[in-house]
Amino acid sequence: MEDILPGDSEKWQWLEKKTRSFFGSRSFCEIRTPILEPTELFTRSIGETTDIVHKEMYTFKDRGERSMTMRPEMTASVARSVLEHGLLKTSKAPALYYTGPMFRAERPQAGRKRQFHQIGAELINLTREGEPYYADFLIIKALADFLEHLRVKNVRFRLNDLTLINGAQAETVRAQLRAYFENHKNALDPDSVYRLDKNVLRIFDSKIPETRALIRNVPWDAISPYSADFKALVSSLELLCPGVTFELDRTLVRGLDYYTGVVFEVASGALGAQDALAGGGRYDRLYEELGGPATPCTGFSIGMERLLMVLDKNSPSVHEQMNAKKIYVLAMVDDVLVQNDVRNAAMRLCEQGFYPIVPFEVMNLSLGEHLKRAHKAGAAFAVIRGDTEAQKNGWTLKNLNTREQTFAGSEKELFSMLTLKTEESHLL
Ligand code: HAM
């Protein structure tokens, strides 16, 4: 579990801000749920035999001897909350998003933490007559658009359809899968032999090379062929998300039991061994299993640590993008009123999406020294209020890269100049 320190916390704020503006503009509403939930919520939804429930949950007895768990993911918490507060009565199809910390006791390595953060989105109860993959299309497109909005490049989606394996015909399909693995039982690792009886799909989580070879050779077309609707979904995505690669992968079953239809994962070449940036899929039975009405749903979650790792390698990086909007705001007179003007202007700049830096306790520095500091902090502009500016109720605006200097006769003029100039920057 990691601290997020100054220098890094700004990047997190940047990403959180981007998340809010993206999902807010697409009519998703934010939901925040508690970190602690009754353990049963996760065992029932994620599944007893999954690695998450079996090996990775932080579970303990609280003071009332109730078994509690620190959420390993939020889809189940969102379902619990939507049902508990009757949100389906006030909205036929809520679209929700969230950000926050999740907890899994995995073996830590680069990109794999015990406390990590996710951005997630869920489309709840959204259906369209005759188009079973309509909401899946919207959610996958939203994920691709969000990554594009953040300028994440070389995005690869892997998709699979679990409709037959986990849907109405599940028993037949799973029996066929079991028969296939039974025939090759000698080549299976011991964990997979255990899973064969408990939950055949969990064999697909195995990393053992011999088992992986068996998994690759499952006769899928005989056991569970792709439907025409699923193939149409993939074609629409290919058409409408240029620059994104979509691959079909029959071995993708995902490590959570609640999926009943399309599942997908996003990988990024910029990540190392832990290359899954995001994952999601359709889960149509979760709400019923938690005691609610039949509620078809689809959603995804993105790992924020991994996303920031990818963004760091991007050009322009998050820091470069932030620096283009970083403004050093400076009072060059030792006067309380002027300093107040500067602080108020900085606050409004912040509200407008800029990143102001207001130096304090530095009245003894010369303008040149201030500008050096501003440059070092990565600011693109300095906004200065000295005696002359204060008399005219205006501001001097200095581009710290070109050294060009202009005068703005009012705060309004200053803001529109800054907006124009930062928009011209190739970094934004
Ligand atoms: P998940 O695939 O378990 O899905 O997690 C989503 C993402 O969270 C992963 O792709 C990864 O980027 C990140 N992540 C997971 N574990 C760790 C870890 N230990 N350290 C760092 N990052 C990690 C879900 O959680 C589902 N709730 C997705 C979903 C939403 N399905 C439907 N709706």
Cα 171 from Cα 164, distance rounded (Å): 9
Q: What is the pLDDT of residues 267-321, one digit of tens each?
A: 988 787 778 999 999 999 999 999 999 999 999 999 999 999 999 888 888 888 8
Q: Is the CB of 166 under 6 A from ligand 1?
A: no
Residue of minimum CA distance from atom 30 in ligand 1: 300
**198 band by pLDDT with thresholds 50, 70 and 90:** confident
Residue of minimum CA distance from atom 18 in ligand 1: 112
Q: Is the CB of 300 under 6 A from ligand 1?
A: yes
CA distances from 10 to 13, 199, 302, 323, 330 (A): 5, 44, 19, 11, 21
Please tell me whether the overall predicted TM-score, pTM, comes out greater than 0.75 for this model. yes
- Is the Cβ–Cβ distance between 331 and 359 less than 8 Å? no
A 10 A CB-CB count for 144 gives 21
Read off the tokens for 80.
């619990």
Give kind and range of the element (H or E) at residue 312.
helix 304-313
- Is the Cβ–Cβ distance between 75 and 286 less than 8 Å? yes
- Residues above pLDDT 70, as percent of the chain: 99
Q: What one-character DSSP code corresponds to residue 109?
A: B
Position 427 scores a pLDDT of 57
- Is the Cβ–Cβ distance between 38 and 67 less than 8 Å? yes
Give kind and range of the element (H or E) at residue 281.
strand 276-282
Cα dihedral angle (175, 178, 184, 188), rounded to 10 degrees? Answer: 180
Q: What is the pLDDT of residues 392-417, one digit of tens each?
A: 999 999 999 999 999 999 999 999 99
Read off the tokens for 218.
């499952």
Q: Is the CB of 280 under 6 A from ligand 1?
A: yes
Q: What is the pLDDT of residues 129-146, one digit of tens each?
A: 999 999 999 999 999 999
Q: Atom of ligand 1 at shortest distance to CA of 254?
A: 2
Position 167 scores a pLDDT of 79
